[in-house]
Chain A
Amino acid sequence: MTTESVEEFRHRARAWLAEAMPRLSGAMPDRLDDNRRQVERVLQRTLWEGGFAGIGFPAEYGGGGLAPEYQRAFSEESLPYDMPVSLNVPTLGILAATLVDFGTHEQKARHLPAILRGEELWVQFLSEPSGGSDLAGCLTRADRDGDLFIMNGSKIWSSAAFVSDYALCLARTNWDVPKHRGLTMFIVKIHQPGIQVEQIRQVDGSMEFCQEFFDDVPIPVADVLGEVDDGWTVATRLLVHERNAVGGGSPYTSGRSGGHESSGQDDSLAQMVRQQGRAGDTHLRQLVAEAHVRGLVGGALIQRVTSGVSRGQMLPSAGSLLKLFSATNVMRRYEIGLELAGEGAAAWPASSAGVAQRLSEATLWRQGLSLGGGSNEIQRNIISERLLGMPREFAADRDVPYRDVRRGGARG
């Protein structure tokens, strides 16, 4: 327990940030820049050395062991600084969070401090070429062989796997039981013989997506996270962390994250209108205000849901409200951006490609956030079934041994 109040902590953080972290100048750093991850690893290391890495993580494993208010105060103070924000999702907010919940002492001692020092980036190996929404229907297999499991199959859409170090990977360990009961979650070292990682080009030209092919990959039994054949429990919790992290409600992320992306702090649309000299246009003013209001509403919703869940007044699946809100907010925000940009979204002078090009290409990618981390449709299923108690969808694979379940076509 700390005796330092949130305000005292905030003051100490403010002073330290000014001293130790580089200030943001002008535009946000391009998170897809090739060198960016290296820069962020170093920034994370700086946080660690200052004692401000993993404020909400257990002190026993290198974290600050502090309540969410402290992390929130730090994040607020950190906004003017360059922070290792791409570590938030997925490494800290999703994978490290799941390790905290299910890891053995050895697993946590081995990985959490290394993560907080910026030495290990983690990703999720969940989706497969045969489908992502029906996560429990995964086909990648891990067969027991003494102290090892031998993994074969393929994962896809794993963001940034090529520059990362470890993954949590869901694989089928038992084919004779219904689908949810035959899965196991593994800690997998990404770069090793037997795992081939291929990058996939996205619509905006970036090469974030990866596909992995597993060819007799040996995984020590000690790297099972949670229980053998109980990987669904781990995966479900991981998804709760994911919705919170992407929706902006995670206690583990630091600095600008998820929901903050479109929070009231972002001035870029107003700036665009001013630069165009159209700040007096009534219609555009309404659009700029709408985007701003959506950011404020999103921030208020994050507070309501995180507080409701932490007090036990809302179910953890209320995180789906945040995920859906933030995804639909981004959809609308990109639409507004496109409308403000006008013809500038179609063609730009070669000399000033930057802003306009980024904006319009990002628009092409608009649905990315409505798919990644569980699609909007899946969030709507969760909200209606788990929060509102409406009847569950018919599932043809319920109570059927997985080897007897019908499967459709896979991509590629």
Chain B
Amino acid sequence: MEFVPNDEQIFFQETTRKFLSVHCPIPVVRALESAPAGYDPQYWRQGADLGWTSLLVPAEAGGGSLSEGGLMDLVLVAEEMGRMVSPGPLAPVNVVASAVAAGGSAAQQAAVLPGLLSGETVAAWCGEHPVEGVIDGENLLLSGLASPVEAGAQAQHLLVAVRTEGGLRQVLVPGDASGVTVTPLGGLDLVRRFAEVRFDQVVTTPAERIGADEDAAEAIEHQLQIACVVQCAETVGAMSRAFEMTLEYLGDRYSFGRPLASYQALKHRMADNKMWLEASHAVMTAAAGAVASGSPAAGEMVSAAKTWIGPHATELIQDCVQLHGGIGVTWEHDLHLYLRRTTVNRVTHGTPEYHAERIATQLLGAVS
């Protein structure tokens, strides 16, 4: 079934849209270019008040959502943030909050969730590729590198996948744990910050494990799916906005005595762009729906969305640049903000080729 937002969800989405247009319009985004965190903590707390960080956490654990499981609500927030190329660690905080709510001990939940849900603290997800773990008595020693990690340098908590002799594990460690070195990276997006997180014989205790050992592989896959869905929703929002700006521009600008919008060559390109946009929206929603409902096809749909949306988003926005003419390649024009964001989203959490290979593995088996 096609996902159709209900009245409550539409209201929720509009609230987020209004908030962003008042508190974080594009000039504010631009002004954050050199801010170390890329966002204002006050803004993030206000967003958290609107519900941005609590949607994937059940009410018993202090969260709450409009739809079952909350992912479809989160998608609406992500789309709005994409439309405004907004700052803030939306994907990592939600991924970690949901993982802690699902698999964390009572003590972990009490220690971590209130801060994440109120926006006082943030968390980073170190990705689905595990670092190495050596079992040492009841502790686990972590070594390796996770990079690029979104909000790694801002995070009070790091959720880390670990490969051990006994299989995959997950641990939640403090960002300032001894042996953890976090180095901020430069990056393409004006406000999205990444870091390199190095683990050098980091001692983690049993109390820092998340979830049962045997659930780790599935939990990590689920985290990847959520991260990708949020990212795809954000990209679709960015595509929509760039498309709208371009459609308007073509109507206003004239050459040879007629609006650019009246030239068939350009109309046809906008028709293709519209088709790509709607197709991207469709596969993103289908993927989100599959993850939200726990469908066995969730992994396949998420990878389909990642394979399709990434290249089509950047191609669409590059075409918007072309249709704007010279102004399109200036710093002054906002299009590059959209191009930055969608390029970053295209290549992180798995490139399109990486996700196509996941699909190929399903169709043809793994490469031996």
Q: Which residues of A contact B (CB under 8 A)?
A: 267, 270, 273-274, 279-280, 282, 285-286, 288-290, 292-294, 296-301, 303-308, 311, 318, 321, 324-325, 328, 377, 379-381, 383-385, 387-388, 390-391, 393
Residues of chain B lying within 8 A (CB to CB) of residue A305: 278, 282
- A274–B360 alpha-carbon span in the complex (Å): 12
Query: Are A388 and B274 also in contact (CB < 8 A) when A293-B308, A296-B304, A381-B267 are?
Result: yes
Stretch at the interface among B54-62, B162-170, B175-183, B258-266: B258-266
Please give me the 7 A-B residue pairs with the lowest Cβ-Cβ distance, nearest first: A384-B267, A307-B2, A285-B360, A383-B271, A304-B282, A380-B271, A300-B282
Q: For residue B274, give the distance in angstroms from its CB to the closest CB of chain A.
A: 6
Cβ-defined contact, B278 with A301, below 8 A: yes
Provide the main secondary structure of the chain B interface: helix
B285 interfacial by beta-carbon distance below 8 Å: yes
Q: For residue B118, give the distance in angstroms from its CB to the closest CB of chain A.
A: 36
Residues of chain B lying within 8 A (CB to CB) of residue A294: 308
Residues of chain B lying within 8 A (CB to CB) of residue A307: 1-2, 4
Q: For residue B269, give the distance in angstroms from its CB to the closest CB of chain A.
A: 9
Please name the residue on chain A nearest to B364 by beta carbon. Answer: A279
With most chain A CB atoms within 10 A of its CB, the pick from B261, B267, B365 is B267
Provide the main secondary structure of the chain A interface: helix
Q: For residue B13, give the distance in angstroms from its CB to the closest CB of chain A.
A: 15
21 contacts between A and B (CB under 8 A): A267-B363, A279-B365, A285-B357, A288-B363, A289-B307, A289-B356, A293-B304, A299-B286, A301-B282, A303-B1, A304-B2, A304-B282, A325-B275, A377-B268, A380-B267, A381-B268, A384-B270, A387-B274, A390-B267, A391-B261, A393-B264
Query: Which residue in A286, A301, A390 is a CB contact (below 8 Å) of B353?
Result: A286
Residues of chain A lying within 8 A (CB to CB) of residue B2: 303-304, 306-308
Cβ-defined contact, A300 with B365, below 8 A: no
Q: For residue A151, give the distance in angstroms from its CB to the closest CB of chain B.
A: 35
Query: Are A297 and B363 also in contact (CB < 8 A) when A305-B278, A391-B261 are?
Result: no
Cβ-defined contact, A303 with B286, below 8 A: yes
Please name the residue on chain A nearest to B267 by beta carbon. Answer: A384
Query: Which residue in A288, A289, A304, A321 is a CB contact (below 8 Å) of B274?
Result: A321
B279 interfacial by beta-carbon distance below 8 Å: yes
With most chain B CB atoms within 10 A of its CB, the pick from A300, A384, A393 is A300
Q: For residue B179, give the distance in angstroms from its CB to the closest CB of chain A.
A: 37
Q: Which residues of B contact A (CB under 8 A)?
A: 1-2, 4, 247, 250-251, 258-259, 261-262, 264, 267-268, 270-272, 274-275, 278-279, 281-283, 285-286, 300-301, 303-304, 307-308, 353, 356-357, 359-360, 363-365, 367-368
Cβ-defined contact, B279 with A300, below 8 A: yes
Cβ-defined contact, B268 with A380, below 8 A: yes
Number of residue pairs spanning A and B whose beta carbons lie under 8 angstroms apart? 128
Q: For residue A79, give the distance in angstroms from its CB to the closest CB of chain B.
A: 16
- A334–B240 alpha-carbon span in the complex (Å): 30
- A300–B278 alpha-carbon span in the complex (Å): 10
Residues of chain A lying within 8 A (CB to CB) of residue B304: 292-293, 296-297
Q: For residue A101, give the distance in angstroms from its CB to the closest CB of chain B.
A: 24
Cβ-defined contact, A384 with B281, below 8 A: no
Cβ-defined contact, A324 with B271, below 8 A: yes
- A40–B368 alpha-carbon span in the complex (Å): 44
Please name the residue on chain B nearest to A295 by beta carbon. Answer: B304
Query: Are A391 and B262 also in contact (CB < 8 A) when A273-B364, A304-B278, A325-B275 are?
Result: yes
- A379–B251 alpha-carbon span in the complex (Å): 20
Cβ-defined contact, B286 with A300, below 8 A: yes
- A379–B267 alpha-carbon span in the complex (Å): 11
Please name the residue on chain A nearest to B361 by beta carbon. Answer: A285
Query: Are A300 and B271 also in contact (CB < 8 A) when A286-B353, A390-B251 are?
Result: no
With most chain A CB atoms within 10 A of its CB, the pick from B264, B271, B365 is B271
Residues of chain B lying within 8 A (CB to CB) of residue A293: 303-304, 307-308, 356, 359
Residues of chain B lying within 8 A (CB to CB) of residue A292: 304, 359, 363
Query: Which residue in B1, B262, B285 is a CB contact (below 8 Å) of A390?
Result: B262
- A182–B54 alpha-carbon span in the complex (Å): 62
- A293–B270 alpha-carbon span in the complex (Å): 23
- A279–B259 alpha-carbon span in the complex (Å): 51
Cβ-defined contact, B271 with A285, below 8 A: no
Residues of chain A lying within 8 A (CB to CB) of residue B300: 296
Please name the residue on chain B nearest to A325 by beta carbon. Answer: B275
Residues of chain A lying within 8 A (CB to CB) of residue B359: 289, 292-293
- A4–B217 alpha-carbon span in the complex (Å): 41
Cβ-defined contact, B279 with A301, below 8 A: yes
- A294–B357 alpha-carbon span in the complex (Å): 14
Q: For residue B115, give the distance in angstroms from its CB to the closest CB of chain A.
A: 37
Query: Which residue in B262, B301, B360 is a CB contact (below 8 Å) of A289?
Result: B360
With most chain B CB atoms within 10 A of its CB, the pick from A293, A306, A391 is A293
